[in-house]
Structure 1
Amino acid sequence: MQTPLQPSPSPIAKDHGFQKWWQLARPHTLTAAFAPVLLGTALAIEVTKIDLLLFLATLIACLLIQAATNMFNEYYDFKRGLDTEESIGIGGAIVRNGIKPATVLGLALGLYGISILIGIYICMNTSWWLAAVGLVGMLIGYLYTGGPLPIAYTPFGEVFAGFFMGILIILIAFFIQTGTVTTTSILVSIPSFILVGAILLSNNIRDFDGDKDFGRKTLAILIGKKGAVTLLAGMFIVSYLWILGLILTGAMTPWLAVVLLSLPKAIKSVKGFKTGTNPLEMAPAMVATAQTNTIFALLLSVGLFISYI
């Protein structure tokens, strides 16, 4: 497939003015950065008094990195010819809304620059070791769709995304407040690792046919669509059982059982992928997967807050 050099005006472009720039950040995905920062900070309340300025700095930096990663995704998917006007998904700033590719790339780099400045402030008040961790995370965000062999085009996208957007952000937020990492913080972050990976898996299930035609070797393509949906269901089950296990063993407060309120979203996701036959029909199932991750983490935070009262 030949990659277009410039975007063509799209007759179905729906976003105008500020809206098209806001959609460029893919706001529906930003909760994937907000929720783990909140959870990591909630875990720290039992250990220390929370520094609100550091919390806000961590939150803003993570949101900027997430938005920049989305823009890199937008830019490189367009340059490789993967995005078209008919593509189903949350992208479209270039192919449908007519934003120049160079502008998208420039904005992504700019957001990275701002996040680095915020990171310097965080390191000055905590540890400079965080600088190395943050830079590695930013590099992975770029390499997810950038570079000669994008991570998103391999079977390892779910693992990388789950680790860096799930476990690592929680532990960074916890470390910034406490100066350490505990066994408890690691154990509680495991379901986020799984559920963030589930978001990427659901995306690859939805895009199965298009990715296969394009030559991507995602995990969903390797194990087949039916196998991928089964794996997705298994990831949900393990996440909930993991929290219940922590409760039953006495490692965590029973209030964490409040995460079960997010179960209907997980069920909706699996049912949607089982019955959907095309990307448009499966789009709500992907949204439900992302909502499961967000609500799950937020409810964990709520459970922790209640237990501290």
Structure 2
Amino acid sequence: MKKSLKAWFAVARVNFLPLSIILVFLGTAIAFYDGFLNIPRAILALVGLVLLHMSVNVFNEYFDYKSGLDFKTAKTPFSGGSGTLPAGLLDPKKVYIFGIECFLLGASIGAIFLLITKLLLVPIIVLGAIFILFYTTHLVKWLLGELAAGMGLGLLPVLGSYVVQAESYSLKALIASVPSGILVFNLLFLNEFPDLEADKEVGRKNLVILLGRRKARWVYSFLTILTYLWIVFASLFGIMPLPSLLGLLTVPMGFKAIKITIENYDERDRLIPALGANVVVVLVTQLLLGIGYSIGALL
């Protein structure tokens, strides 16, 4: 029983779910700064996003197993899948059904928020559903995987969490959501470096394959720096509160990831520390932004 439960946790990639928690926290904090805060809605949004995040993780595991990708990738702590299905620990059909169940439960919560917000969330929910249902089967083959990740598990959840609270859109909230989009785009982008050959073999088309690792390392570096510049200028121009500059505390870790990537872009084992540093940058930067907004709301 314990072994089976561990396998289900692995296939749902629960170690990646803190991202969803931080996204909802950030979106809610932005709304709090603007004078809106409804804790029950925030909790419900969190449950919904976690379920949808689990569904895309499970679908990814299932379709990567079916395509044979899981048998070709060299697993790292941050990429290459959980290895649950290739190891025969779970029935693939049951895993697929579990993914559908998570999606339907998450979508049900989305439907509740559609009613609450008078359909304001339609664009976000429709795009989110497309990203979840077609990510592994289509989008990763059309050079849209990184964009889908950045939007679907970055910008849109933050903006959506804001709309759930404020029942309206805000240009400032959209601008404040952009760093999340860039960071999560970069999260997937760097994680694709070790899998380039395997991804190419099964027909995937992503930016790392298109550019090659040598050029892709500069894109990763540019986007990391752009994230910090975005926070600086948005704060200085009054679009984001000055306490948002707390997000800059991850700059040393960001430059560590850049340095390792530039020097070891083609060496999988030596690149792994960069993958780890990048995860810290993605999670902690957004957490600090949320804390910054919360401080701004209380001042």
2:10 to 17, 23, 36: 23
SS in 2 for 1:17: helix
Displacement of 1:163: 1.8
8 A Cα contact 2:186 2:220, kept in partner: yes
1:99 pairs with 2:95 = no
Q: Show the counterpart of 1:114.
A: 105
Displacement of 1:240: 0.1
SS in 2 for 1:83: helix
Q: Show the counterpart of 2:218.
A: 230
Displacement of 1:69: 0.2
Aligned positions of 1:1-309 closer than 5 A: 16-84=3-71, 87-88=74-75, 89-131=80-122, 133-146=124-137, 150-273=138-261, 274-275=263-264, 277-309=266-298
8 A Cα contact 2:34 2:297, kept in partner: no
Structure 1 range deviating more: 69-78 or 91-100 = 91-100
Structure 1 range deviating more: 127-136 or 57-66 = 127-136
8 A Cα contact 1:154 1:219, kept in partner: no
Displacement of 1:260: 1.3
TM-score, with structure 2 as normaliser: 0.90
- Count of aligned residue pairs for this structure pair: 292
Structure 1 range deviating more: 40-49 or 61-70 = 40-49
- Output the CA distance in 2 between the equivalents of 1:62 and 1:240: 26
8 A Cα contact 1:36 1:166, kept in partner: yes
TM-score, with structure 1 as normaliser: 0.88
Query: Which one-letter code corresponds to 1:138 in the other structure?
Result: A
- Output the CA distance in 2 between the equivalents of 1:125 and 1:131: 12
Displacement of 1:289: 1.8
- Output the CA distance in 1 between the equivalents of 2:242 and 2:124: 33
CA-to-aligned-CA distance 1:53-103 (integer Å, 9 cap, x gap): 110111111111111101110111111111128631342120125211101
Query: Which one-letter code corresponds to 1:270 in the other structure?
Result: I
Pair 1:46–1:254, CA change in 2 (3 A): closer
Question: Aligned-residue CA RMSD in angstroms?
Answer: 2.0
Greater relative contact order structure (CA < 8 Å, 6+ sep): 2
Displacement of 1:190: 1.1
- Output the CA distance in 2 between the equivalents of 1:298 and 1:93: 30
Pair 1:277–1:220, CA change in 2 (3 A): closer
- Structure 1: stretches of 5+ with no match in the other structure: 1-14
Displacement of 1:21: 1.2
